[in-house]
Amino acid sequence: MANVMPTIAPQPTEVSKPFWDGCRERRLVMQKCEDCGNVAYYPAYMCPACTSEKLTWTELSGRGRVHSVTIVHRPAAPAFASAVPYAVALIEVEEGPIMMSNIVGPAALETKIDDDVEVVFEDLGEVTLPRFRRIGK
């Protein structure tokens, strides 16, 4: 796929595998605590808000807003050399958690704080990555 940004592929672990499986199925999922209702990211064995171990993988809306963004001009690793410049952002998803990802799409480099975004999924060999694009841009 020509538009896929190069990256260093993550290695799913026992606790994060459902997250990556969801991405493969084009579903953004995170763990929701059955005791306090907290939705958390990153994948973990217990709720970071109340330490409950009753966590259920829940599908999210896939929408959010840009909490912070930077445009990278100097690649952080050789794997990213062909991608610069690119946008790295903290995305506050509608359900609350903040996750780091890339903004992709034709207007990615004009991304601003508070822009509305939606998840897109990019296949990278064995792993599918969640990235975001600006809505209506």
Up-side HSE of residue 38: CA atoms within 13 Å toward CB? 17
76 binds Zn ion (CB under 5 A): no
Minimum distance of Zn ion from residue 40's CB (angstroms)? 8
Minimum distance of Zn ion from residue 44's CB (angstroms)? 11
52 binds Zn ion (CB under 5 A): yes
Q: How many CB atoms lie within 10 A of CB 83?
A: 14
Indicate the residue among 37 and 106 with the shorter CB distance to Zn ion. Answer: 37
Burial (Cβ within 10 Å: 0-12, 13-18, ≥19) of residue 18: middle
47 binds Zn ion (CB under 5 A): yes
Residue 100 φ then ψ, to 5°: -90, 140
Question: Under the rule (CB under 5 A), what is the footprint of Zn ion?
Answer: 33, 35-36, 38, 47, 49-50, 52
